[in-house]
């Protein structure tokens, strides 16, 4: 669950979100290393005397600045592609949840039963997780989510589960949810009109 003043990620509710956090840490480590290297090299050039011996080439330096970026990019690209494969590969889901986004609510359907998910009182908003009908899903099971829109562009965002899926009119997008027991609150991540801020969604994994 998100809370006011939090400067970190939400509690992880799925393996994909944990993988995302690891990838984020890896990218930040490389970013700090690159910034420190540039700072130290710049400080060395600025504060120390220049070499009086003219040197037009350096094989070792050329090897370093050719190979090091390749290593950095490969160390980021490989886990990124692995994560993308985990998010896009859907094999033998436990069941399929169909969702349609509207202005400004979500319609969920499973086992031929559909229901609306919206705020209890649109005019007096107190808690964005105060929903009429949350979505109940089994935990530790692979659930395929099919998402489309009936009007404008929307986006299903569930930060705790590492899910962000665009909802496009006339198109069916899919993703998977494989979370641990608990409650995950999300919202529409695409500006979709005046009621955009009052379009939350709640998933309860049991």
| b/e sequence 128-162, b meaning 16+ C-beta within 10 Å | bbebeebbebebeeebbbebbbeebebbbbbbbbb
Residue 74 has pLDDT above 50, yes or no: yes
- Indicate whether 99 and 79 sit together in one domain: no
- State the Cα–Cα distance between residues 82 and 206, nearest whole angstrom: 28
Residue 164 has pLDDT above 60, yes or no: yes
Task: Supply the CATH number for residue 99's domain.
Answer: 2.60.40.420
- Indicate whether 112 and 31 sit together in one domain: no
**Residue 124 belongs to some domain of the structure:** yes
- Indicate whether 112 and 157 sit together in one domain: yes
**Residue 53 belongs to some domain of the structure:** no
Describe the chain by its helix, strand, coil percentages, rounded to 5.
35, 30, 35
Among the residue ranges 6-15, 61-70, 113-122, 190-199, the one predicted with the least confidence is 113-122
Residue with tokens 């993308």: 84
* pTM, to two decimals: 0.67
- What per-residue confidence (pLDDT) applies to 119? 47
- Indicate whether 132 and 188 sit together in one domain: yes
- What per-residue confidence (pLDDT) applies to 32? 93
Closest residue by Cα to residue 150 from 194, 192, 205, 88: 192
Helix (H) or strand (E) holding 193: none
Reported as a single tens digit per residue, the pLDDT across 135-158 is 888 888 888 888 898 888 899 888
- Indicate whether 25 and 103 sit together in one domain: no
Range of the domain at 24: 15-47+58-88
- What per-residue confidence (pLDDT) applies to 83? 80
Residue with tokens 């490389």: 30
Residue 3's pLDDT band (cuts 50, 70, 90)? low
- Structure tokens that stand for 175 in this block: 């993703």
- Indicate whether 149 and 75 sit together in one domain: no
User: How many domains does one find in the chain?
Assistant: 2
- State the Cα–Cα distance between residues 171 and 144, nearest whole angstrom: 16
**Residue 62 belongs to some domain of the structure:** yes
- Indicate whether 31 and 100 sit together in one domain: no
């Amino acid at each position: 669950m998100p809370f006011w003043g939090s400067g970190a990620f939400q509690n992880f509710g799925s393996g994909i979100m944990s993988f995302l956090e690891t990838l984020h840490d890896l990218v930040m480590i490389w970013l700090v290393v690159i910034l420190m290297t540039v700072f130290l090299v710049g400080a060395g050039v600025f504060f120390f005397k220049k070499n009086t011996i003219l040197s037009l080439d350096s094989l070792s330096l050329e090897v370093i600045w050719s190979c090091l970026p390749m290593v950095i990019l490969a160390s980021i690209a490989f886990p990124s592609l692995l994560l993308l494969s985990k998010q896009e590969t859907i094999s033998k889901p436990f069941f399929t949840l169909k969702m349609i986004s509207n202005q400004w609510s979500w319609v969920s359907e499973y086992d031929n039963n559909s229901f609306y998910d919206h705020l209890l009182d649109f005019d007096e908003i107190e808690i964005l997780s105060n929903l009429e009908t949350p979505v109940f899903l089994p935990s530790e099971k692979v659930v395929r989510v099919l998402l489309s829109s009936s009007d404008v562009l929307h986006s299903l965002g569930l930060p705790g589960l590492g899910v962000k899926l665009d909802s496009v009119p006339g198109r069916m997008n899919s993703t998977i949810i494989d979370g641990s027991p608990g409650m995950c609150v999300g919202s529409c991540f695409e500006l979709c009109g005046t009621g955009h801020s009052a379009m939350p969604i709640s998933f309860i994994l049991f």
